[in-house]
Chains A and B, each alone.
Chain A
Amino acid sequence: NAGVTQTPKFQVLKTGQSMTLQCAQDMNHEYMSWYRQDPGMGLRLIHYSVGAGITDQGEVPNGYNVSRSTTEDFPLRLLSAAPSQTSVYFCASSYSYRAENAEAFFGQGTRLTVV
């Protein structure tokens, strides 16, 4: 049971480049989400999805796009990377987020540097 698989682990981008962070889960979870973690800021919600075909914005969505074509995959796209997007990114999934069984499983994280 792989849980949540997040790739890549490390990435360096130049300003203006685009890229996609991959996230896949094999637990048939409905809820998936992306967070960024910056020093002193905790985990800030970027986008989330409550099921295939449904996505919504979180606290800090600007500069990021997501899609949820399947239950398993929830990629995060950086459209035009900026130095302010240098951060550690975590993908998470859970059966739900409003009821019991809302335990979130996290990927290993992606450390992104934009130069």
Chain B
Amino acid sequence: GQQVMQIPQYQHVQEGEDFTTYCNSSTTLSNIQWYKQRPGGHPVFLIQLVKSGEVKKQKRLTFQFGEAKKNSSLHITATQTTDVGTYFCSGGGADGLTFGKGTHLIIQP
């Protein structure tokens, strides 16, 4: 079945620094989605990318989908304490909606 690998597992940054997490799939994905989970909460949808090479922005967040539709990245510019949480990528393929292990973002004031 498909696997979605996500790196890094943990990322410590100083408030104001940038942050990037990467997602790689062993198979071509029909779409990729990004979610954020606050500590003690449930995953909440951020965005979906469908087209090869697609780039979308949400304020300080930039999402990219690779040309081969096998990888993606989430970049946060000038992190804030509200960005704390775990960021998951998820790919739609033949075996349902599978998630990467997530990147835990820890921000030091």
Contact = CB atoms under 8 A, between A and B. Distances in A.
Interface in A95-115: 96-100, 102-109
Interface residues of B, number: 25
A94 interface: yes
Interface in A23-57: 31, 33, 35, 40-45, 48, 56
A74 interface: no
B98 interface: yes
Contact of A48 (B31, B33, B88, B97): B97
A64 to B, nearest CB: 14
A109 B44 CA distance: 12
A58 B95 contact: yes
Interface string A78-105: 0000000000001010101111101111
Q: Which of A43, A44, A90, A107: most chain B CB closer than 10 A?
A: A43
A40 B101 contact: yes
B93 A35 contact: no
A97 B1 CA distance: 15
Given A108-B42, A109-B42, A102 B48 contact: yes
Interface of B: 1, 6, 9, 30-31, 33, 35, 42-45, 48, 50, 88, 90, 92-93, 95-102
17 contacts: A33-B96, A40-B9, A43-B43, A45-B96, A48-B97, A59-B1, A94-B97, A98-B31, A99-B92, A102-B92, A103-B33, A103-B45, A103-B48, A104-B35, A104-B45, A105-B45, A109-B42
